[in-house]
Amino acid sequence: MVQLQLMNTTFTMLQRTMSHQPEAKESQRGQLIRNQTYSFLHSMKGMDGGSHIPDYLLSQLKRLHEEAAKLYGDDVKRLVTGPPERFDGRLVDAAASAISLLDFLDFKLRDPVAMRVIGSGIETAKWAMNQDLLQYSVLICRVLKEQTMKRLCDRYEIEYPPSIQPGALAESLRKENDGPFEKHQWMDLQAKLTYEGDVIHGKVTPRKEDVSELISWTDRFIERWLDRNGN
């Protein structure tokens, strides 16, 4: 309940800024949208294991997309997973869309708030698995790898576009491309990314034991390359 109140308060701030301060700086408006999106994601941990989210929350996420589109134009429509008009209320679809929007705003604002996802992501993935939300758990693991690789790209001064796919990120981080990944590390990572993509797109039905192993692998991956604050 506290999380939902925080989310609603942030959204009210956003609406007031848009309505009464149309000249507000782009960064300020973007940060408000981003904060609200992060609050939305955080609130999903309280969905008590259901596979659907309430209509009024889904409506707020759609409005966030609309406000971001006003601010950034067609970039948002191209980059954000799951356009609002196609939402069916499933938890994993909403989460994927919110995460993509958050990551896009981080890229635009050059201030990676999405790194907070790494700090608590493993525990969230475990929670989702224990609630039998296996697809959602796999999605979280995939996001954690993406965020970790993007921080590594920043560290190694490797440029990447905001719309880059996880597989392309992994490729850019190979030793041959001045990155840190040895061939065997890259191949292992690519295998995990392929499995995650198949699960998220419904090509593979995940088993709980496989998801548990994926969470452990992802935890080791983060521990190997970053600390818990994303450094």
| 103 and 147 assigned to the same domain | no
| 155 and 90 assigned to the same domain | no
Domain that includes residue 94, residue range: 1-113
| 168 and 218 assigned to the same domain | yes
Residue-level pLDDT at 10: 47
Residue-level pLDDT at 210: 97
| 107 and 1 assigned to the same domain | yes
| 127 and 229 assigned to the same domain | yes
| 126 and 104 assigned to the same domain | no
Give the per-residue SS3 of the chain: CHHHHHHHHHHHHHHHHHHHCCCCCHHHHHHHHHHHHHHHHHHHHHCCCCCECCHHHHHHHHHHHHHHHHHHCHHHHHHCCCCHHHCCCEHHHHHHHHHHHHHHHHHHHCCCCCHHHHHHHHHHHHHHHHCCCHHHHHHHHHHHHHHHHHHHHHHCCCCCCCCCCHHHHHHHCEHHHCCCECHHHHHHHHHHHHHHHHHHCCCCCCCHHHHHHHHHHHHHHHHHHCCCCCC
Q: Domain ends where: 113, 139, 156? A: 113
Contact 91, 125 (CB under 8 A): no
| 101 and 197 assigned to the same domain | no
Name beta bridge partners: 52. Answer: 90
Would you write out the chain's pLDDT as a tens digit for each of its 231 residues? 334 444 454 445 445 544 544 444 677 788 888 878 877 777 766 555 455 667 777 777 888 888 888 888 867 766 554 444 444 446 667 777 787 787 778 777 766 655 555 657 788 788 888 888 888 889 889 888 988 888 888 888 888 876 788 899 999 999 888 899 999 999 999 999 999 999 988 899 999 999 999 999 999 998 898 764 444
| 92 and 166 assigned to the same domain | no
**Number of structural domains the chain divides into:** 2
Name beta bridge partners: 181. Answer: 174
Residue-level pLDDT at 15: 52
| 106 and 183 assigned to the same domain | no
Q: Of 29, 32, 61, nearest to 44 (Cα)?
A: 61
| 78 and 140 assigned to the same domain | no
**Alpha-carbon Rg for the chain in angstroms:** 17
| 98 and 27 assigned to the same domain | yes
| 105 and 136 assigned to the same domain | no
Paired tokens of 24 = 């507000």
